Structure 1
């Protein structure tokens, strides 16, 4: 993942600023990018999507339970 990002980073630099990449110390920049990304708390897209799905199901269940509670309170004559 980090190597892919570093590669895309250098491709983008070369696309936006042709010739600049030749003047940059590529290994040092790659090491710096890898170090910085390694310190970040990153997740893969698959992990993010899985957690998003769990969150969506949890929200749906919470809405269901809130509706049930409101119905029960209505039947019991209690309202907040």
Structure 2
């Protein structure tokens, strides 16, 4: 619902900045703008900050695991090379 809060805030700010001659159409224009914003945001693949932080943590853990596995692989390759040279 963070998107809805943003949409409402932008719609309100838009309405407040309308020239006085358009104030009578304020609610209609705000509604139209909110609809356009909702459509645009729904087409985007957006994450919340919490979802982003979770993914960032998972990526860091995965990177750590890959680094560990690469180190183990290098050690095993070195052992295999040493055995083959004997």
Q: TM-score, normalised by structure 1?
A: 0.72
Q: Is the counterpart of residue 67 in structure 1 residue 68 in structure 2? A: no
Q: Deviations over 1:18-44 (max 9, x none)?
A: 734764611100111011111222221
Runs of at least 4 residues off by over 6 Å = none
Q: Secondary structure at the match of 2:46?
A: coil
Q: TM-score, normalised by structure 2?
A: 0.68
| Distance in 2, Cα, partners of 1:68 & 1:12 | 57
- Listed as ranges, the gaps of 5+ residues in structure 2 are none
- What is the total number of aligned residue pairs between the two structures? 75
Report which of the two structures shows the higher radius of gyration computed on alpha carbons. 2
The answer as to whether partners of 1:6 and 1:34 remain within 8 angstroms in 2 is: yes
RMSD between aligned residues: 2.6
- Listed as ranges, the gaps of 5+ residues in structure 1 are none
